[in-house]
């Protein structure tokens, strides 16, 4: 059975959009890193999940790696909520000194 998860997809420097990933897509991810600890006691974290493009796709077609922010609670994936997006934006600004503009293309 397939399932999907609400995420935040980076679309450019300082830009992201609400998106989703489905269970079958997670196998294609190449790298996961911790971005933000939301609650250490409950083990709530926001991670980045990177889907790397091949060197050929980058050179010939100008494709870029795709990065999603995902939420993990006690080692279980969970949907991003508006308050999570706010925390991501704040941490992004702290790390880069740039405001993160988030496009929301569907309702919660």
pLDDT in tens, the chain (108 residues): 889 999 999 998 899 999 999 999 988 888 999 999 999 888 999 999 999 988 888 889 988 999 999 999 999 999 999 999 999 999 999 999 999 999 876 554
- Sign, Cα dihedral of 26, 32, 35, 38: positive
Answer yes or no: are the C-beta atoms of 48 and 67 closer than 8 Å.
Answer: yes
Give strand pairing partners of 69. Answer: 8, 48
């Amino acid at each position: 059975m397939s399932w999907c998860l609400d995420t935040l997809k980076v679309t450019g420097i300082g830009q992201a959009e609400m998106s989703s990933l489905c269970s079958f897509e997670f196998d294609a991810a190449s790298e996961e890193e911790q971005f933000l600890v939301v609650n250490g006691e409950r083990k709530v974290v926001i991670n980045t999940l990177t889907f790397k493009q091949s060197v050929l796709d980058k050179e010939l077609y100008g494709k870029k790696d795709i990065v999603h922010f995902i939420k993990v609670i006690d080692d279980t994936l969970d949907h991003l909520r508006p308050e999570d997006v706010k925390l991501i934006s704040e941490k992004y600004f702290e790390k880069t000194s740039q405001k993160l503009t988030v496009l929301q293309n569907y309702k919660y």
